[in-house]
């Protein structure tokens, strides 16, 4: 399988680097300080391929805290709030779109 | 129930110890993800959108009440209080933590459950008829042969790294309830003119990106040759199956490219030198497995007892359930009961920990402690005395598993889709839920009769959409969810792939399309008892297409 670093990154808008936390699989985002957070608002948002590559490389090097690292699109609202850029990422952030059994 | 011996118990316990060590080394950084991933996959552990997912095998769909209670315990202690029964007679837990997986597996091992060979390029859980052992139309109990295969193919060193995953299904009844024609190997028991029983061997079936109905390469294989012939097929596949392209690696592609006749010749060549060797099944060996299946001591009972007749006459809800979810048992005075895991507006195949515990208790009380899991994602109590049906129904109704929709339009088979799965392109569960709401009027659903809807959230086809009477495939178009519809597929004895209806429709329109297809069927059928699939076979796709796309 090709490493995400070997794949040509196409960045046409704001993106973040996301992954799943090793210990429990929870969705996490790479911060500008080189940590991981479950809060998308705390993610480092970049807009160029070179910045995304740099962020991704640092995240991939962190092999002990996160797995399945990749670049994901986000959008910025008028209030500069970061929101997921597609349905898959919305579901990753917010959970299933249906009530879980026992909750409904 | 099959009673595991010390060998099985040791195998499972050793696997838990190994996995605990592997998880520890991964969490400490001693193992990289690249090193660890194949190890976790060998134990049924995937990483999905939100969390790790653990898939547990339920060999040939048979569960004891104690095993069901353990599944409830795992759901409660390590997950979010529910589990998802799959189309391959497995159960999946969607929220499990890697750190807790060794403990969860140790708990499961106490009742003989595990995730071995529920993932990876090996022979997966062997599936069969959920009515095996109790079906009136069966020749033999298919589980005996499934168990022989399971034992032979568990951790088989030669077949642990096949070109791709490998699925075997087996049936020994007149009616195919195991969808054997869409498996890598399908085995179907027949009786020949001499009165002997043997297997029709079907290979190269499968769904996914490139669907095929399997081809029969051996019309009648004596039972003694089952292991050696399956071994020969696997060896042939292992040697010639493509490893250079994941999309062409399944045996169905090999059979298609070589042609069934050439493939059969290759298998024959592989088989002849081994057929009379160590793998030939002698009667004593089969008897040893057979006697490890313990059958309940069901008393001889009156068929259609008076109390059942009174309950039927006295309560229309009970009568509707009885006619829909209760089936003939091979023993007089007994019944097979299907528990619908398809309530209106809920995810198909999910059961809460509370439901699992309650079902285990009801199995103890009414079904000699035995439960079955079917590929339609429903459960079965296989040994119910007919006189107990009214009380059982009340209990099942209380816990929400007595929706009388078995085999009807709302008995939908669906994969987890984009709500959980990292491979999916589109959601399956909300589509299924919306369709069940549209058809919640039971009179309408019953008037439509047998109508199978299958939904997959991507081309991998875990929801078996190709063989649904109505098949729905989720795709992604420019960032939006669209759904492609096929009709006329079927999974049974006359298995066939569905025909594409027309252009894919957006998420908001898919339930309307299903309603249009149902309405067209009601107009097109010749008689109320002409099933949807038969109407389709008579009139073809065009009248349905016209109805659905006319409004557009």
- Residue B476, pLDDT > 90, answer yes
Domain locations along chain B: 6-109, 134-290, 306-398, 413-550
Instruction: Give the sign of the dihedral formed by CA B56, CA B58, CA B61, CA B66.
Output: negative
Superfamily of domain B134-290: Sulfite Reductase Hemoprotein, domain 1 (3.30.413.10)
- Residue B551, pLDDT > 80, answer no
Q: Do domains B6-109 and B413-550 have the same CATH topology?
A: no
- What is the side-by-side order of every strand in the sheet holding B379-385? B62-64, B370-373, B379-385, B334-339, B326-328
Mean pLDDT, 10 residues at a time, over chain A (104 residues)? 72 96 98 97 97 96 94 96 97 97 70
For residue A85, the distance in angstroms to the closest alpha carbon of chain B comes to 9
User: Is A48 among the domain residues?
Assistant: yes
Q: Which residues of A29-46 are buried (b: 16+ CB within 10 A; e: fewer)?
A: bbbeeeebeeebebbbbb
The pLDDT assigned to B3 comes to: 79
Q: Give per-residue pLDDT as tens, B23-44.
A: 999 999 999 999 999 999 999 9
The pLDDT assigned to B409 comes to: 98
- What is the side-by-side order of every strand in the sheet holding A82-84? A36-37, A27-30, A15-21, A66-76, A82-84
User: Is A7 among the domain residues?
Assistant: no
User: Is A22 among the domain residues?
Assistant: yes
Q: Which helix H or strand E contains B280, and what residues bound it? A: none
**Mean pLDDT calculated for residue range B436-460:** 97
- Residue B2, pLDDT > 90, answer no
User: Is A30 among the domain residues?
Assistant: yes
Give the residue from B161, B168, B90 showing the smallest Cα distance to B126.
Answer: B168
Chain B: residues touching A (Cβ < 8 Å): 26-27, 29, 32-33, 47-52, 80-82, 97-99, 345-347, 350-352, 354, 418-420, 422, 427, 429-430, 433, 479, 481
The pLDDT assigned to B132 comes to: 97
The pLDDT assigned to A10 comes to: 87
Find chain A residues with C-beta within 8 A of B346's C-beta: 101, 104
Q: Give per-residue pLDDT as tens, B210-228.
A: 999 999 999 999 999 999 9
User: Is A8 among the domain residues?
Assistant: no
Mean pLDDT of chain B: 96
Instruction: Inspect the interface and report whether the beta carbons of B47 and A68 lie closer than 8 Å.
Output: yes
Tokens of B355: 């439901």
Tokens of B160: 């642990």
Contact residues, A window 45-84, toward B, CB-based 8 Å cutoff: 63-64, 67-68
- Which among A25, A98, A101 has CB closest to B352? A101
Q: Domain B413-550, what architecture? A: 2-Layer Sandwich (3.30)
Confidence of residue B552 (pLDDT cuts 50, 70, 90): low
User: Is A10 among the domain residues?
Assistant: no
Given 3.40.640.10, 3.90.45.10, 3.90.480.20, 3.40.50.10800, which CATH number is that of B306-398? 3.90.480.20
Backbone angles phi, psi at B58, to 5 degrees: -120, 90
Backbone angles phi, psi at A9, to 5 degrees: -80, 125
User: Is A88 among the domain residues?
Assistant: yes
Q: Domain B6-109, what architecture? A: Alpha-Beta Complex (3.90)
| Helices within B130-225 (DSSP H only) | 142-153
User: Is A36 among the domain residues?
Assistant: yes
d(CA A36, CA B127): 42
Q: Give per-residue pLDDT as tens, B373-412.
A: 999 999 999 999 999 999 999 999 999 999 999 999 999 9
Is A23's Cβ below 8 Å from some Cβ in B?
A: yes
User: Which residue, among B50, B434, B478, would best test binding to A if mutated, counting the most A CBs under 10 Å from its CB?
Assistant: B50
- Residue B354, pLDDT > 90, answer yes
d(CA B516, CA B541): 13
Q: Give per-residue pLDDT as tens, B98-127.
A: 999 999 999 999 999 999 999 999 999 999
User: Which residues constitute the domain of residue A60?
Assistant: 15-94
How many structural domains does chain A have?
A: 1
pTM of the model: 0.96
């Amino acid at each position: 399988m090709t490493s995400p670093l070997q794949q040509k990154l196409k960045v046409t808008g704001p993106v973040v680097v996301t992954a799943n936390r090793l210990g429990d699989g929870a969705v996490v985002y790479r911060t500008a300080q080189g940590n991981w957070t479950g809060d998308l608002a705390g993610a480092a948002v970049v807009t160029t391929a070179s910045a995304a590559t740099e962020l991704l490389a640092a995240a991939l090097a962190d092999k002990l805290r996160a797995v399945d690292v990749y670049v994901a699109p986000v959008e910025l609202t008028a209030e500069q709030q970061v929101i997921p850029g597609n349905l898959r990422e919305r579901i990753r952030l917010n959970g299933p779109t249906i009530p879980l059994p026992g909750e409904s | 129930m099959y009673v595991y011996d010390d060998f099985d118990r040791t195998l499972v316990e050793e696997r838990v110890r190994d996995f605990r060590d592997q998880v520890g080394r991964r969490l400490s950084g001693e193992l990289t993800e690249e090193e660890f991933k194949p190890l976790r996959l060998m134990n049924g552990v995937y990483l999905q959108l939100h969390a790790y997912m653990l898939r547990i095998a339920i060999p040939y769909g048979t569960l004891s009440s104690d095993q069901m209670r353990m599944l409830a315990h795992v759901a409660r202690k390590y997950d979010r209080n529910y589990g998802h029964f799959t189309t391959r007679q497995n159960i999946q837990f969607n929220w499990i933590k890697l750190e807790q997986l060794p403990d969860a597996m140790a708990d499961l091992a106490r009742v003989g459950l595990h995730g071995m060979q529920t993932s990876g390029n090996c022979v997966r859980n062997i599936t069969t008829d959920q009515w095996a052992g109790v079906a009136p139309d069966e020749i033999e109990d298919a589980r005996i042969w499934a168990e022989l295969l399971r034992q032979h193919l568990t951790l088989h060193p030669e077949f642990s790294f096949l070109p791709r995953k490998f699925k075997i299904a087996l049936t020994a009844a007149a009616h195919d309830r195991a969808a054997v024609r869409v498996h890598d190997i399908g085995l179907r028991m027949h009786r020949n003119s001499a009165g002997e029983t043997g297997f029709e061997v079907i290979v190269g079936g499968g769904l996914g990106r490139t669907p095929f109905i399997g081809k029969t390469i051996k019309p009648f294989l004596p039972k003694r040759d089952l292991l050696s012939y399956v071994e020969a097929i696997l060896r042939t596949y292992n040697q010639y199956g493509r490893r250079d392209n994941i999309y062409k690696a399944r045996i169905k592609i090999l059979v298609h490219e070589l042609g069934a006749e050439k493939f059969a010749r290759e298998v024959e060549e592989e088989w002849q030198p081994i057929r009379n060797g160590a793998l030939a099944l002698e009667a004593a060996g089969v008897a040893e497995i057979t006697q490890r299946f313990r059958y309940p001591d069901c008393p001889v009972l009156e068929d259609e007892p008076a109390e059942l007749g009174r309950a039927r006459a006295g309560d229309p809800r009970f009568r509707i359930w009885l006619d829909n979810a209760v089936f003939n048992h091979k023993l007089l005075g007994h019944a097979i009961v299907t528990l619908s895991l398809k309530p209106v507006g809920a995810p198909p195949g999910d059961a809460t920990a509370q439901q699992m515990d309650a079902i285990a208790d009801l199995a103890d009380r009414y079904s000699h402690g035995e439960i079955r899991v079917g590929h339609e994602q429903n459960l079965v109590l296989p040994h119910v005395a007919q006189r107990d049906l009214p009380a059982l129904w009340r209990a099942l109704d209380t816990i929400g598993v007595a929706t009388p929709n078995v085999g009807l339009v709302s008995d939908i088979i669906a994969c987890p889709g984009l709500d959980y799965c990292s491979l999916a392109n589109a959601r399956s569960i909300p589509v299924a839920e919306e369709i069940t709401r549209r058809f919640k009027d039971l009179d309408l659903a019953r008037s439509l009769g047998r109508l199978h809807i299958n939904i997959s959230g991507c081309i991998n086809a875990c929801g078996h959409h190709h063989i649904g009477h109505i098949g729905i495939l989720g795709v992604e178009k420019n960032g939006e969810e669209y759904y492609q519809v096929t009709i006329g597929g079927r999974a049974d004895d006359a298995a066939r792939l569905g025909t594409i209806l027309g252009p894919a429709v957006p998420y908001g329109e898919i339930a309307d399309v299903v309603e249009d297809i149902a309405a067209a069927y009601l107009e097109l059928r010749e008689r109320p008892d002409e099933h949807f699939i038969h109407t389709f076979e008579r009139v073809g796709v065009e009248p349905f297409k016209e109805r659905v796309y006319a409004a557009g």
